[in-house]
A = this chain, B = another copy of it.
Amino acid sequence: MSEVRVIPVSGIPELEQGDDLGALLAARCELQDGDVVVVAQKAVSKVEGRVVSLVGVEPSPRALELAGEEDPRHVEVILRESARVVRARPPLLISETPHGFVCASAGVDASNAPGPDLLVLLPVDPDASAVRLRARLRELTGRDVGVIVSDSFGRPWRQGTTDVAIGTAGIEPLRDLRGVRDRAGYELRSTQIAVADELAGAAELVLGKVRGIPAAIVRGVDVRGEGTARDLVLPAERSLFP
């Protein structure tokens, strides 16, 4: 096993709807086959125009009830982005998104939005975003890379967020060790490793919300394969946590 490198991609200007994210990235790094390009969700959402204004949003009675001291229009946008509310303790809302992700505020966020009264939403289909970005990078550089769209999620019982994968392309998000034996011949129990989430977390170490670095390259981990970030969603029937 040789070392893994996490390389920040800096110098990306403030992003706007319609920007060619692939071209902006390709111009600022030297990709190699097998690299994994991790891009912050907010960058993807901005170029895809997934930004809404609070102006004119009519909060529903539910939003008014859940808002606490928050802006009820903000809560209304969160509810519209939620397939269901998992937990609510105003002003904190834990939602399941239409993609199946369980996270705070359905991934809706005002920080690093392109202006006041604007909220950034998750991409409609982050796997498709990753597929498109991968194809564009291949077109521009000829390199076969994996792509992860990452976001910062909280975790029950643990303080702080870690970045996880909400969209993937060209990689196997889970490393499956079922049936693999340890050095003593004992079959491993904890058998699936969420490598895509570990790659997203590793990238976060150089991304940083305030540094203006929306992407990083992880080099040296062979995760080439098929799969989508939906593979990282535990099927409801196997979940111990409703």
Residues of A within 8 A of B (CB): 1-8, 10, 14, 87, 89, 92, 94, 96, 101-102, 104, 109-116, 152, 154-164, 173-175, 177, 180-184, 186-190, 192-195, 197-199, 201-202, 204-206, 208-213, 218, 220-221, 231-234, 239-241
Say yes or no: A1-B6 contact (C-beta < 8 A), given A157-B239, A162-B198, A234-B158.
Answer: no
Q: Which of B102, B187, B192, B220 contacts A156 (CB 8 A)?
A: B102
Contact partner of A201 (CB less than 8 A), chosen from B92, B113, B181, B198, is B198
Q: Complex formed: what's the CA distance from A110 to B239 in Å?
A: 23
Most B CB atoms within 10 A — which of A89, A213, A240? A240
Partner of A195, one of B87, B205, B241: B205
Distance of A94 Cα from B63 Cα, bound (Å): 34
CB < 8 Å: which of B1, B10, B174, B220 contacts A10? B1
Interface centre among A113, A201, A232 (most CB of B within 10 A): A201
Query: Among B6, B14, B102, B177, which residue has its beta carbon within 8 angstroms of that of A202?
Result: B6
Pairs A–B under 8 Å by Cβ, sample size 17 = A1-B211, A2-B8, A3-B6, A3-B7, A4-B202, A109-B190, A155-B155, A155-B156, A158-B234, A159-B174, A160-B197, A161-B190, A182-B210, A190-B209, A197-B201, A201-B202, A205-B221
Q: Which 3 A-B pairs have the closest CB atoms?
A: A160-B194, A202-B202, A198-B201
Of the candidates B3, B8, B110, the one whose C-beta lies within 8 Å of that of A8 is B3
Residues of B within 8 A of A198 (CB): 162-163, 201-202, 204-205
Q: Is the CB of A157 within 8 A of B201?
A: no
* Contact, CB under 8 Å: A110 / B186: yes
Q: Which of B152, B156, B192, B239 contacts A240 (CB 8 A)?
A: B156
